[in-house]
Every structure is written in C-alpha cells, then in structure tokens.
Chain A
Amino acid sequence: MGHLATLIVLLPLVGALALWLLGGRVSERLVGSVATTAVAASFAATVAVTLSLLHDRHREITVHLFNWIPVGPLHVPAALLVDPLSVTMCLFVTGISALIHLYSTAYMHGERDYRKFFIYLNLFVFSMLVLVLANNLVLTFVGWEGVGVCSYWLVSFYFERPAAASAGKKAFLYNRVGDVGLLLAMFLIFSRTHTLTYLNVFHRAGTLSPTVATLAVLALLLGATGKSAQIPLFNWLPDAMEGPTPVSALIHAATMVTAGVYLLVRMSPVLAMSPDGRATIALIGAATAFVAATIATAQRDIKKVLAFSTVSQIGYMVLAVGVGAYAAAIFLMVAHAFYKALLFLGAGSVIHSLGGEQDLGRMGALARYLPLTYPTFVVAWLAISGVPPFAGFFAKGDVLTEVYRHNRILWALAVLTAVLTAYYMSRLFVLTFRGRERFREVTHGHDPHESPWVMTVPLVVLAVLAAVGGVLNLPWAHANSLAGFLTPTFGYVTPVAAASSLTAWGLAVVDVAAAIIGVVAAYSIWRDRSASVRYESPFLARVWHWDDGYDAVIGRPLTRAARVANDVVEPRIIDGAVTGVAVSLRRSAEGLRKAQSGFARQYALAMVLGLSVVVVYLVARVG
C-alpha cells in the first residue's frame, strides 16, 4: 500500500473527487489547475517509479492494496503490478494526459459543464492507470470498463446533439461487445488455471491445451478489437469524434484505444500457446490497418481522417502483436501516442481557430495564420508518414521488419498501408495548410487566430517527442533501449532471431520509399483540388458500407425482433398461453355451471347417490 505506484493511480482519482467536492461555483482556472496538477503529479510519480524500477533487479513489483473479491477459490486482490510494460504505458499515459489536460483548460473555455469535463478526464486517467497497472485480469477489466464509460460520457459530452448522444452510446455498445470477449477470456482462463492474477496465469499458461489457448486468445482478441477499434468492431471510433477534440486526442488516439494492444501484449504468454490465435491477430491487424487506411483517404472531416488513421495505426500494432513483436508494438504505441496526440491537438487548434469547422473542404492555406501549430503539425505529419528520422519511421520500421520475417504477404499489405498512410496524411496536410484559402465563409472574413499558449505548449512538447521519440528504441544509440527495458516482461516468450543487417537496411529503404510515394502522390493530386469524386470513392467514404452492413444484419433484425417480442410474443404468445388456460377454464366452468341447478335437494340427492355408489363399492369389495 505504501508504494509510490499507489500514488500514480490515486492522484487522478483524488483530482476527480476534489473537483466533485469543490462544487459548481469555483472558477475555471481552479478547476483546470487542480485537474492538470493531479495528472502531472501522477506523471511525476510515474517517473519516480520508473527510476526505482530501473534499480530493481527483478523489474517486477507487486503492490497489494486490499483484498477485493474473495470467494472460495476465487481471489481477486486489488493489487498493482509494476513492471517495465506497465510503467512504459503509465509514462506516456500520464505524460500525454497531463499535456492534454493543460491543452483542454483553454480549449474547453466557457463550456457549460467545464468542471464535469475535467472530472471525466481525471476519472478517465484513473481508469486507464488501473487498467495498465492492475495485477490481475479483473482489475484490468475495472479500468477497461472505466475508460469505456468515461469515453461514453466524454463522447456524448454535447448530449443535446443527437449525433453526440448516439455516438457515445455506439462507442459504449461496441466496447461492450468486445467486453463480452474479454469476460469470456477471463472465464476460460480461470476455469483452466484457477487464477486470474497475471503472474500466476503466466506461470500456468503452459498447461493450457492448444484449443483452450486458441479460444482464449480469440476471446481476448474480441475484447481488444472492441477497445482498440479493430475489425470487426472498429467503426465506433470515427463516430466518437463527436466528442471534444482533446478527448479525441487523449482517448481515441493516445491512450484508451491502445488498451486492446496492451492487453494482448500483457497476455503474451497465453498468446504464445496458440500460433493459430496469433495468426488470426496478425490477420485482423493487417486487414484493419489496410481497410482503415483506404477509408481515411476518402474522409472529408479532419477528425474522421485522423480517427481512421488511428484505427489503421493500431492495426499495425495488432499486426505486430500477432507476429510476436511485442516490443515493436509497444514502441509503435508510444510513438503513435506522441504524434497522434500531436495531430489531434493540432487539428484541435485548427478547428479552434476556425470556430469549430472540421470540413477539410473549408480549410487550406492555414500555414500562414497558425505559426506555431503549423510547424508542429509538419513534424507530426512526417512522423506518421514514416519519414526518417522522426519517431514514426523507426517504430513502423520495427514493425514492418518483424512482419517481414514472419509473413511476406502481410508485410506486403503493411507496406501498401504505409503508402496509403503517407498519402492520406499528406492529403490532410495539404488540404489544411497548403493550397487556397477556403475558410473565409466560416470565419466570416476574419483571419484565423493562433491558439493561446496553454494550447500550443503541449503542441511543442509533443512535437519534440514525436521528432526524437525514435531514439527510444535504437539499440545502437544507447544501452537501455525500450526493447531491452521491456525484455523481462516478455521473458517468457522465445525471442525472435535477429535479422541480418542487410535485410534490415533493405526494409528501411522500402519503408522510406513507401512514405515518399505516398507523400508525392498526395501532393500531386491535392495541391490544387479540394474535392474529387474520383479519389474519394463513395464506397470508401461510406466506410466500405460497414455500418450499413451491421445495421442490415444485426441492428434492424434485432430491433424488429425486439418489437415483435414486445408486441406479439409477450402479449399474445406467453401471456396468451396463460390467458388461454384461464379462458378454457372459464369455458368449461360455464359448461359445468349448468349442473348447478340451484335446487339444494338435487345436490343432496347427488350426495346420496354418490354415497350409495361408495357403499356399493365397499360391499362389493368386502364380499
């Protein structure tokens, strides 16, 4: 209990509680600072914990808080597991959260539910940290659901807009479907290993039969697809862009959506037991990456593009997990957190400057008006496109390398996706910052204005991180690379044989080429265009008709079934059966009623006759 790690988790909760208890009459300034300070302090605590972990030989600390659910053989403690993986996650979660909190204090200025917003944000950070730091699946699930519900609240933050309300609900429901997977995975694992604590599960993972392991992995994957917006549950994420932009940055780019990947990475010992499962994961990841990338090329809404980009990038991570490149996945996750947060915040800044406009068609040539946002956005754009030496290049390169070693077809698909990534990001960039001005109508002729410092500072910090984040995992640059740091966590996994340096260089060249192809293509197409049916196929714009398909296959039939159940089955069939019994009883009673003539003497006669029958029977029986 006394461990510093406790503070990491508790500080945001304390922040949220403090905000709640402060009541509704405090100034925005106080609210903002309390919330931001709480998360920043949490970040500080994380740093301290990381440092202490570096000096720990086992790189593994379990902090027992209290016994949560003890029932017979089921013991679920509320305990934290501090290991390289979780602190890595914590570091960027708290760090980016702190930045986004800071950014939000300005972005959300003047909103009606300002305090509530920060309560949600703090609660979200708390949940995310619980998710990450939990030492067992159930506690992870607590955080898992916690981030889900916070996401629900934040997405439907503008609840008076029907679209926002629907989007929040959709997000929660899609997540919920995924949760079923996670629950089933838990049940399955518990029924075989009789424990849900990670370390114990890992110890006993070897006893799982391949079938059970595969089933568990598939269930886990279902959970991950829900939270991390992978096929088949990816389409809630674009809708979730209805929430305030910092929320999109924080939740739907940097942190929450990576939870699925984190879970898969966390459960790597189980994954190790199921090659089939991993292959499925890889396939899902690659497919998602590709599909989302294609969709992103056709979106008109700046945040939608970024949303699909997120889906696509997480697809990469899942792909990496599928091929067993856990460190690469985490590396990409961290790097992605940097530049995707940056992208969203930059987009937020753009939207802010345009008074809430999100349509790419009404932007253009903003570079001039946004002197700080523009350069940071450039960094982010280059980073995600995979242009060296920004973080994205290294991270994605690692992934591609691992995939190449594993499966050439998936690698090809991933490279194609990389081209598309560079293409749609460049398209976004061009349509936003270059080309002609198309925003006058929105701003009523005014010049767009740059955001205040609290919004730009996070941009700058993130830009720096996005630029140099790649050094985290350069083995030749420093001894404590991310992969090396994470090794104890994946110590249970057989290490992948190192590739020859020639192949590595070759692959790097391919990556760079892909990036350049994408960038050039985008420039050539979108430099002087703002819309094009040819390059924005309706099929892609409609997300491959994915939502329509769900609606037709699941949504509408279920609604109809519900209506039939309510209007027909319930009153007619089930209640009707009961009523039928009653009615038939009444009918027969009406028939029998005629026997009741009302003449008492007839009843008496009936009695006597009955008695005589009894007596005759008795006489017959006796002799």
Chain B
Amino acid sequence: MAVTYALASEAVFASAAVLILAGAVAVITVKNPVHAAISLITTLFGVAVAFVAQSADFLAAVQIIVYAGAIVVLFLFVIMFLGVDRTRVVSLEPLIGQRALAAVGVAITVAGLVALMWRSHWVTGAPSVSGHPLASGAGNVHQLGTAVFTTYLFAFEATAALLVIAVVGAVLLARREPSEEGSPS
C-alpha cells in the first residue's frame, strides 16, 4: 500500500512537471499568441496540480479561478480584440547577442539559485514557530483564511486597494479619448 502510495505522489509530480514544462516551453516557442495562451493554461494547470499535491488546495482552486479563469481569458480577449493573432516571425532577433546573453544570464542565475538551495539543503528558513503544523483539506482553507485576515490583514487591504486602482487605471487606459471621436467635452 505504501508503495502504491509513494508511486502515486511521484506520478502526480511527474504529470505536473510535464504539464508545467511542456506548457512553459510552448509559451515561448509557439508562434501564435493564442496557442501560447493555451500553453499557458496548461502550465497553470500543472502548477495547480503541484499545489494540490502539496496540500495547498485552496490555492489550487484560486489558481484555476484567477489565473485560468480570469487572467488568461483577459489575454485572449486582448489578442482577439487587437487582432494580433497572426503569426509573426520569431526566428529573427534584431538585438545582437540578446538570445545568447539571455541564455547565459538565465542559466547562470538559475543554476546559481539551485546551487544555493542545494547548499542550504533545500531549506531557506526556520520552521514555523507558530506551532500549528500545516493542515490540508478544509483545514488548509481555514488556516489560510485566518492568516490572511489576521497577520496579513494590512497586506490584504492593500492588495484590495491595488486591485481597485488597477481596475480604474485599466479602464482609463483602455478608454477611447473623447477627442478621438471629434466631440470635445
């Protein structure tokens, strides 16, 4: 039973990893933005699976609702509205050395980060001092809610304000100027 069990969790990880990486690579390689968006959804699903596998159930749900349900939809909206869904030439790189340098820089950074984590035995902080072991399932939602509405209340309110500001800003940005239609107000 234990074997089955371990195998299951590793299988979950493997499928999540495949989803994530395949999606991510597709995002940066496909030519069509709509395909890229679809690939992005794949990655997001993979991340949601990884969340569930790590007993962050609520976050997984939110990941789907917010990311897949709203953000990527927004991307698709914009793509469709703007009509930028035609295929573009991606092989040409106008900035000299951009790709090579990018590859080198990213590789060094990520390798360095992994090395750092490895040096620190994949732990970067002290275990929780609050004494409440992380719950899963319904308890997870409860715990997260308690944390967000007590410890991080200020941040919560700030992000709420940020959202409102973002919405107002986006409306203002995307609104057509009245002058464009020739009727000054």
Indicate if A touches B (C-beta under 8 A): yes
Q: How far is B106's CA from A601's CA once the two chains are assembled, in angstroms?
A: 14
A601-B98, A608-B109, A612-B104 known; 6 new pairs, CB 8 Å cut-off, are A605-B101, A608-B102, A608-B105, A612-B109, A619-B116, A622-B119
Q: Does B112 contact A (CB under 8 A)?
A: yes
Decide if A65 is an interface residue (CB 8 Å cutoff): no
| Residues of B close to A618: CB separation below 8 A | 112, 116
30 A-B pairs with C-beta separation under 8 A = A599-B95, A601-B95, A601-B98, A602-B95, A602-B98, A605-B101, A608-B105, A608-B106, A608-B109, A609-B101, A609-B105, A611-B105, A611-B109, A612-B104, A612-B105, A612-B108, A612-B109, A612-B112, A615-B108, A615-B109, A615-B112, A615-B113, A615-B116, A616-B108, A616-B112, A618-B116, A619-B116, A622-B116, A622-B119, A623-B119
Interface size class of chain B, counting residues whose CB lies under 8 Å from the partner chain = 10 to 19
CA distance A318 to B65 in the complex (A): 105
Chain B residues whose CB sits within 8 angstroms of the CB of A622 once the complex forms:
116, 119-120
Residues in A586-619 with C-beta less than 8 Å from chain B: 599, 601-602, 605, 608-609, 611-612, 615-616, 618-619
Interface centre among A599, A602, A615 (most CB of B within 10 A): A615
Residues of B within 8 A of A605 (CB): 98, 101-102, 105
B14 at the interface (CB under 8 A from A): no
Using Cβ atoms and an 8 Å threshold, which residues of chain B touch A612?
Answer: 104-106, 108-109, 112
> Top 5 closest A-B pairs, CB basis?
A615-B112, A612-B108, A608-B105, A612-B109, A609-B105
**Least distance between A618 CB and chain B CB atoms (Å):** 6
Note all chain B residues with C-beta closer than 8 A to A608.
102, 105-106, 109
What's the nearest-Cβ distance from chain A to residue B99, in Å?
A: 10
Indicate if B165 sits at the interface (CB-CB under 8 A): no
Question: Measuring CB to CB, which residues of chain A are less than 8 angstroms from any residue of chain B?
Answer: 599, 601-602, 605, 608-609, 611-612, 615-616, 618-619, 622-623
User: Given the complex of chains A and B, what is the CA–CA distance between A619 and B108 in angstroms?
Assistant: 11
Q: In the bound complex, how far is the Cα of B114 from the Cα of A246, in angstroms?
A: 103
Please measure, in the bound complex, the distance between the C-alpha atom of A611 and the C-alpha atom of B106, giving whole angstroms: 9
- Taking the closest CB of chain A, its distance from the CB of B114, in whole angstroms, is 10
- B66-109 interface mask toward A, CB cutoff 8 Å, 1 = contact, 0 = none? 00000000000000000000000000000100100110111011
Bound-state Cα–Cα, A523 to B112, Å: 116
Task: Answer yes or no: B115 CB below 8 A from chain A CBs.
Answer: yes
Which chain B residues border A601 with CB–CB below 8 Å? 95, 98
Q: Kindly provide the distance from the CB of B116 to the nearest chain A CB, expressed in whole angstroms.
A: 6
The distance in angstroms between the C-alpha atoms of A609 and B113, with both chains bound, is 14
Alpha-carbon gap, A609 to B112, bound state (A): 12
Q: How far is the CA of A605 from the CA of B119 in the complex (A)?
A: 27
Roughly how many angstroms separate A622 CA and B113 CA in the complex, as a whole number?
12
